[in-house]
Amino acid sequence: MNGTLELTKANRLKVARAFRLNKRVDFSIECAIEGQLGTVLVDDATQPTAYCIRVGPFGYFAGDARHAGGRLLMQGFPAYRLLMPSPLEWLASAQDVFGEHLKSLPRYSFSSAPLSSEHLTRLLEGSPFRECIIPLSVDLAQQATEQPESPLDLSDFDSAADFIERGLGYTVLDNGRMMGVAYSSLVCSQGIEVSVYVEDADRRQGVATALSSRLLLECLASNLRPNWDAANPESVKLATKLGYRFLESYEAYYHTRG
C-alpha cells in the first residue's frame, strides 16, 4: 500500500541506494535523504520496491517501475508536477499510465564551478539596486507567502521562521513593496537551489542580476554550492551572465490528467 516512508537511518540508506543512478540536476534527492525537505513515497512501507521523492513541484522515481506497486505509485503522481530525470523504465511507465496527457518540458543544467566572487562583485557594484538589497527576515518572508501570487515558495519548509533559520534570501524593497527576491528554494548540506523572482513591472531593470549576485556571493563565502537549474530562456541568459557554465538541456515531464 502506497504511503510516506519514515526516514529512519536504515530507510535513509535504502533511499540513497535506490536513487544512486538518478541524474542529479538539483538538490531534491539530497534534501529528501537528509530529511531537510520533501517526502519519500513508497509502494510498501515495510519492504519498498518503488520510490518517489516529491519536493516542491518536482518528482523523482526509483526502484522497480514494472512492479504493480510501482505502477500504483505512478498513477498517484499529481497533474502538473514535474517528473524529473529518473531511470528510463519510469518514463515508460509514465507514458503508459498517462498516454497523450503526458507532456515534455525542456530544462537546462549549469555548473557553478566557474563562479567568481570578483565577477559577481563587479556586477553588484555596477547595479543601481546595490544599496537597496536587504536580507529576508521572518516578517518579510511571511508577508511574501501571504500574497495572492507569492514570490516565495516555502511550501516544503515548516514556516517562514524555519526558512530563515535554514535558508538564504534577499529582496529589493520599493516603499515596502518587494520588487523581487532571490532565495534558496532547496537547502541541504551540500548547498542550495537558487530561485529568482521579479515582479512583472520591475523586470529588465537589473533587479534579478543584483539580487542573484548578492545571493551567490553569500553562498561562495559560506562554501555552499548554489545550484542553478533553468526552466526558461530568461533564466538561461541570467545564469550565463552571472558566470555559470551551461552543461546540457534535458526533458522533464508533466501530465494534464486530473
CA dihedral of residues 87, 93, 94, 97 (deg, nearest 10): -170
Note the pLDDT tens digit of each residue in 21-63: 999 999 999 999 999 999 999 999 999 999 999 999 999 999 9
Measured CA distances, 95 to 39, 125, 142 (Å): 24, 49, 39
Residue 146: count other Cβ atoms within 10 Å of its Cβ: 9
Asked if domains 3-106 and 113-227 share a fold, the reply is yes
218, three cell numbers: 553569500
d(C-alpha 206, C-alpha 165), whole Å:
28
Residues of the chain with pLDDT under 70: 1
Note the pLDDT tens digit of each residue in 176-186: 889 999 999 99
The CATH architecture annotation of domain 3-106 reads 3-Layer(aba) Sandwich (3.40)
220, three cell numbers: 561562495
What is the fold, at CATH topology level, of the domain defined by 113-227?
A: Aminopeptidase (3.40.630)
Three-class SS state of 43 = coil
Q: Give the domain ranges of the chain.
A: 3-106, 113-227
